[in-house]
Amino acid sequence: MDKHQVVGVLRQMEKFLKGQEIRFTEGLRIMKSKLASLQNSVSKLPQADQSAAPATCPSLDAPAHGTKFGSKYFVGHEVHFVCSQGYQLLGSSTRVCRDNGTWSGVSAVCKDIGECSSNPCQNGGTCVEGVNQYKCTCPQNWSGSHCQHQTQTDVNECEVYRLDQGGKLCVHECVNVPGSYHCSCPSGYKLLPDGRSCEDVDECLSQKHNCSRGTSCINIGGGFRCVNPECPRSHGNISYVKTSPFQCERNPCPMDSRSCHLAPKTMSFHYLSLPSTLQTPATLFRMATAAAPGRTGPDSLRFGIAGGNSRGTFVMQRSDRQTGELILVQQLRGPQEVSVDVEMSEYADRSFQAKHVARVHVLVSPYSF
């Protein structure tokens, strides 16, 4: 390429670049013009309202004795309230966060539900609250736990109580009298200060008995018994002597009389008064041994029932090393009398030493109190 050709190419490139510069400058001018126009439009827009509604509402607490469900406090969200058992909801159970930042409804409160809230008293009766209970005060001519019974002249409190409560107003007998009632007890019992219960009168302790000399007074349910227990009859070399009103002791045995040594060394008599249908099992009697001063006692004891238990009413068991217990295992319905012989055998070095018998007389009352 000669010199003239090179000069021609350079002029063409210069001309092309100048055209490009002009187009770039024109494009930049147009862009600046559009940007200025956009800024001008934005500046003319209305300013945002500074008092626009906030995005959330104030937090809410659960009411006392109640529970709150819902932890979101944004506009449009709900919060719910429920009360614990025994309480009633007052106020709004559901509240909604509104656009103005406040909650709909009113505050929730849990109020204690009283026994009288269900209006249990009928026929104009007035309900009086108590501790976990209530009482109806009835108007004239109405009675009953809910003022449900109409009365004309007299209320049979004994019958009303039986119908309402399903039980007995008195332990023994309820006697209706005009305008009231009173409880009575069977002969030989006295009414306790509560006006309903009966207690046995101890004729022996109060000296209200007619037992003659030589006999002993035994108190039983509703009365007394004059007793004079006798020692076992003598037979062979075995004989007894009465050492107290309720105990007999065997006379000394001949050295060669084995039957005498095997016979009970002592025999005691005991009288127990029981109410009818006493709850079982029940411990009635305890039997134990005690060594004489200066002498060692037996190293082994055996307890058992010697007689009078054909129906299996009693059992004898050891309560500790030196004591046996007579236990009633079947209920006894009175009136009746039952006798049972309990024996305790003493052993030393596995050798029989002596036997003691206690005759227990069980006197069952006609009543269960």
| Domain ranges for the chain | 157-200, 216-288+299-364
pLDDT tens-digit readout, 166-218: 788 899 999 988 778 999 999 999 999 999 999 999 999 999 999 999 999 99
Mean of the pLDDT values across residues 103-120? 85
Superfamily of 157-200 according to CATH: Laminin (2.10.25.10)
Q: In degrees, to the nearest 5, what angle opens at C-alpha 323 toward C-alphas 319 and 329?
A: 50
Rounded Cα gap, residues 322 and 266, in angstroms: 17
Rounded Cα gap, residues 226 and 239, in angstroms: 25
Top pLDDT among 257 and 140 is at 257
Rounded Cα gap, residues 248 and 270, in angstroms: 12
Output the six-digit token pair for 147: 């003022």
Neighbours of 201 (CB within 10 A): 19
Confidence at 366, pLDDT banded by 50, 70, 90: very high
Rounded Cα gap, residues 175 and 158, in angstroms: 7
pLDDT tens-digit readout, 290-336: 766 666 778 889 999 999 887 889 999 998 888 999 999 999 999 99
pLDDT over 80 (residue 58) = yes
Tell me, what's the pLDDT at 25? 77
CATH value of 216-288+299-364 in 3.30.300.20, 1.10.10.10, 2.60.40.60, 2.10.240.10: 2.60.40.60
The mean pLDDT of the chain is 87
Q: For residue 331, which of 367, 282, 369 has the smallest C-alpha distance?
A: 282
Tell me, what's the pLDDT at 54? 55
Q: Which residues of 62-96 are buried (b: 16+ CB within 10 A; e: fewer)?
A: ebeebebeeeebeeeeebebebeeebebeebeebe
pLDDT tens-digit readout, 7-47: 676 777 777 777 777 777 777 778 877 777 777 776 665 55
Confidence at 84, pLDDT banded by 50, 70, 90: confident
Same fold, 157-200 and 216-288+299-364: no
Confidence at 50, pLDDT banded by 50, 70, 90: very low
Tell me, what's the pLDDT at 166? 76
